[in-house]
Amino acid sequence: MAFGGKVLALAGGVGGARMAAGLARALPAGALTVAVNVGDDFDHLGLHVAPDLDTVTYTLAGINNPAQGWGIAGETTAFMGALKRLGGPDWFLLGDQDMATHVLRTLRLKAGESLSAITADFARRLGITTRIVPMSDDPVRSIVDTDEGTLPFQDYFVRRQCIPRFHGIRFDGLETARPSAGLVAALRDPDLSAIIICPSNPILSIWPILGVSGVHAALSTASAPVIAVSPFIGAKAVKGPAGKIFAELNLDPSPAGLLSCYDGLVDGLVMDHADADRAGNCGDVALRVTDILMRDGADQEHLALEILDFAAGLRAGTGGRDG
């Protein structure tokens, strides 16, 4: 039975993009909105770079580099080679095709268009029917507090490759950032039937989205179930520094540890078989144990269908622990 109603997914980069791609395949056209973190956006070489938005967009367009997760398939690096030759900063890789996204987005932002409008237009031109919306059109900048001092997000994440010890994170601009119109519309949609927190890094990618004005309140009062998908398999992050950061914050990479990041907002948690024996202390959160690794499009769609089935059960009051 096809899932009825609308779905809102909250996503960061690679894990969020893969989950969004599965949901886009599993749902009817027009049913899915993906709200994307922009806390790791930054100004680089005078360009507005939005890594999570681009990863989601390229993935939903089917032009992403599937092995790497981010970037465009078949991407070339002539720009970077020439930039290095001229003494420019080469620590953040910008592919030749990818550059077009940054240059055109920067130009259109300076001309007064919103990030939402530009993102929607790029998606349309790339043949994407899913709504991709930035969490906010206002600037938010993640700043990581480390044992090497405070670092702008990409300095921590790319330049220093998450090596500094993570002490905490703040999101400059988040207090006054308004949710994008597309995110507001999705949250207010009377047909909203599931809110899915993708298996992105809860601290780096999901916290900024939940911190946008009104989002936390909307999730806590939503009639649609809020379902989180774990980014851990066997207590290890599938990708990225979530495991290292959890350890540095003395958080347990278990279902309960993950749920502690989500502040009581989650109604259902989707986790891997490999973590079933760590699923204690989850309170009244419904659990769904399945295979959550997304190796390819088939995995993505299969997991999405499983999540939608779980959500339908929770809406009908037939969900609950199976772990």
Q: In the complex with a copy of itself, which residue's Cβ is closer, 103 or 185?
A: 103
41 binds a copy of itself (CB under 8 A): no
Total number of residues binding a copy of itself (CB under 8 A)?
32
Check residue 117 for interaction with a copy of itself (CB under 8 A).
no
Residues 251-280 that bind a copy of itself (CB under 8 A): none
Instruction: Restricting to residues 53-72, name those near a copy of itself by CB under 8 A.
Output: 72
Report DSSP letters for 149-160, one per residue: EEEEHHIIIIIS
**Residue 101 binds a copy of itself (CB under 8 A):** yes
CB of 184 to a copy of itself, least distance (A): 26
Check binding of 120 to a copy of itself (CB under 8 A).
Answer: no
Determine, following the binding rule CB under 8 A, whether residue 320 of this chain makes contact with a copy of itself: no
Q: Give the CA count within 13 Å in the CB-facing half-sphere of 62.
A: 10
Query: Rounded distance, CA 124 to CA 120, Å?
Result: 6
> Taking CB under 8 A as the rule, does residue 188 contact a copy of itself?
no
Percent helix, strand, coil in the chain, to 5, is: 40, 20, 40
**Binding of residue 78 to a copy of itself (CB under 8 A):** yes
Candidate residues 25, 45, 152, 160; the one interacting with a copy of itself per rule CB under 8 A: 45
Minimum distance from residue 95 beta carbon to a copy of itself (Å): 8
Among 110, 149, 188, 250, binds a copy of itself (CB under 8 A): 110
Which residue in 2, 29, 67, 85 binds a copy of itself (CB under 8 A)?
85
Measured from the CB atom, the residue of 106 and 150 that comes closer to a copy of itself is 106
String of DSSP letters for 83-137: HHHTT---SS---HHHHHHHHHHHHHHHTT--HHHHHHHHHHHTT--SEEEESBS
Largest CA distance in the chain: 62
Length of the chain: 323
- Cross-strand partners of 192: 6
Q: Which stretch binds a copy of itself (CB under 8 A): 39-47, 143-151, 177-185, 230-238?
A: 39-47
Residue 1: both structure tokens together: 């039975």
The SS3 assignment for 20 reads helix
Looking at beta carbons only, is 85 or 188 nearer to a copy of itself? 85
Cα–Cα–Cα angle for 223, 227, 228, rounded to 5 degrees = 145
Q: Of the two residues 83 and 279, which places its CB atom closer to a copy of itself in the complex? A: 83
Question: What three-state secondary structure class fits 306?
Answer: helix
* Single residue of 126, 143, 222, 274 touching a copy of itself by CB under 8 A: 126
Burial class (CB in 10 A: 0-12, 13-18, 19+), 32: buried
Q: Within 13 Å of residue 51, how many CA atoms lie on the same side as its CB?
A: 23
Binding to a copy of itself by residue 73, rule CB under 8 A?
A: no
For a copy of itself, give the closer residue by CB, 122 or 166. Answer: 122
Residues 217-256 that bind a copy of itself (CB under 8 A): none
Residue ranges in contact with a copy of itself by CB under 8 A:
45-47, 72, 75-76, 78-83, 85-88, 95-101, 103-104, 106-107, 110, 121-122, 125-126
